[in-house]
Structures are given as structure tokens and as C-alpha cells.
């Protein structure tokens, strides 16, 4: 099975540690451990017969693969400790099978006597290449979708309505802090400086588009 370490994944995606942490907590990425890297860890297996073990309560990972669970053990169902931290107490030899969904499953589950921390996962864990490719494909599909003509017109109409509401017109009974587009644009630029899409040039363009869109709509009424 092909895999990357988390430092390699961070380098591949040019992202921060915290970004990977959030994906792990949300279970969008299922981390794994190379079984030999679990040397010294103690676990309780739920089905000793499938593994060919004696009916003992605990198993201590040694330098070899140990039980017949393959070279990797996947860490499942993270316990969230905070907004950006979690730990793992459950392991499985599959990243896909759900616990207690089927009876007499051939997949095995184990419980770590000492939970594995998220930092330990980032330092020593791995992620399968297949998961990475699937996530990249889903992200590409999500970002490549463009607004339809109807969706774009709807957003421009909302902007146009807000302009009409926020800007005080001569002889209007409504009172506003703004009397011109320029004042609104300057305030947006000041309050939301650095926010993508709120630069002066872009806001001016969108305001103009919104006004044209509203004018065309009103001409049809």
C-alpha cells in the first residue's frame, strides 16, 4: 500500500499543520500507523479467533507485524479534545468499514490502552495515497464548479437591493450613514481590508454590474 507521511503531505499541499488537523478531526482523512511503528503499544482486540490469537485480554506490539492485520492499522473515530485537537482509542485494519454495522466481519478492531494523540499521528502516522488522490479529486470538483447565469443574476440582485436600501436618496424618508456608492465602498475597504473580493476595484465593478442588472429587471416590469 502506497502512503505518505504527514510532513510529506503538508509539503505536497503547501498547507499548515492545523489544516491537516482539521481534516483528521472531521474524518475527511483517516490516518494510519505502520504496525511496526506501534512497538511498545498495548491494545485489546475484540475478536481473538479471527486473528489466530489465544483468548488473552491484551496484546503488546513487538518489532514484528504481530497479529495478522497487515502492515497498517487505521486510527478510527477520533475523540475531539478541542477545536484543533483529538486523540484515538480505536484502531481497525480498514479505513472504510464502520464499527458494529455487520456481524461476523472479517475486519478486526482494537482499543489502545493509552490513546494516541494527534501530535503523535502527525509525527509518526501515515496517510494512504488513495485517500489523498480521492480528496484532491473531490476538492478540484468543488472548486471548479462555476455559478450559473441564474445564480450570478440572483447574487447581483441581492447586491443591488442592498445598495438601494443602504444609500440615502434625496427626499427619502429613510435615513442612512451613506449618501453615495463611494462612501460604502470606502467603508468596506476600510473595515474588511485583506478579505478576498473586497478590494476597491472589484467592489466598484460588482456595484456597477448589480445596478445594471437591477435596471434591466425594472425595465421588464
Q: Looking at residue 203, what is its pLDDT?
A: 84
**Domain-wise residue ranges, the chain:** 3-143, 147-219
What's residue 156's pLDDT? 79
- The stretches in the chain having pLDDT less than 50 are 48, 50-57, 65, 102-104
The pLDDT, as a whole number, for residue 120 is: 93
Q: pTM for the full model?
A: 0.56
User: DSSP label at 78?
Assistant: P
What was the pLDDT predicted at 157? 80
Q: What is the pLDDT of residues 64-116, one digit of tens each?
A: 545 556 678 899 999 999 888 999 998 888 888 776 654 445 667 788 888 99
Nearest to 114 by CA among 67, 63, 54, 44: 44
Which residues have a Cβ under 8 Å from the Cβ of 147 and sit 6 or more positions away? Answer: 155
Structure confidence at residue 154 (pLDDT):
79
SS (H, E, C) 87-155: EEEEEECCCCCCCCCCCCCCCCEEEEEEEEEHHHHHHHCEEEHHHHHHHHHHHHHHHHCCCCHHHHHHH
In this predicted structure, what is the pLDDT of residue 116?
92
Amino acid at each position: 500500500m502506497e502512503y505518505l507521511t504527514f510532513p510529506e503531505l503538508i509539503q505536497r499541499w503547501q498547507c499548515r499543520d492545523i489544516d491537516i488537523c482539521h481534516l483528521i478531526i472531521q474524518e475527511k482523512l483517516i490516518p494510519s500507523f505502520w504496525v511496526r511503528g506501534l512497538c511498545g503499544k498495548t491494545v485489546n482486540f475484540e475478536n481473538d479467533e479471527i486473528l489466530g490469537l489465544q483468548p488473552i485480554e491484551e496484546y503488546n506490539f513487538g518489532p514484528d507485524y504481530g497479529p495478522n492485520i497487515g502492515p497498517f492499522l487505521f486510527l478510527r473515530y477520533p475523540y475531539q479534545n478541542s477545536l484543533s485537537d483529538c486523540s484515538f482509542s480505536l484502531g481497525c485494519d480498514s479505513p472504510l468499514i464502520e464499527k458494529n454495522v455487520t456481524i461476523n466481519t472479517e475486519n478486526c478492531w482494537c482499543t489502545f490502552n493509552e490513546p494516541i494523540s494527534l501530535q503523535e499521528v502527525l509525527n509518526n502516522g501515515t496517510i494512504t495515497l488513495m485517500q489523498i488522490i480521492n480528496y484532491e479529486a473531490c476538492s478540484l470538483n468543488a472548486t471548479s464548479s462555476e455559478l450559473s447565469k441564474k445564480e450570478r443574476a440572483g447574487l447581483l440582485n441581492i447586491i443591488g437591493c442592498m445598495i438601494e436600501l443602504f444609500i440615502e436618496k434625496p427626499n427619502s424618508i429613510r435615513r442612512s450613514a451613506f449618501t453615495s456608492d463611494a462612501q460604502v465602498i470606502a467603508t468596506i475597504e476600510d473595515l474588511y481590508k485583506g478579505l478576498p473580493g473586497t478590494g476597491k476595484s472589484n467592489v466598484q465593478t460588482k456595484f456597477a454590474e448589480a445596478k445594471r442588472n437591477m435596471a434591466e429587471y425594472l425595465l421588464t416590469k
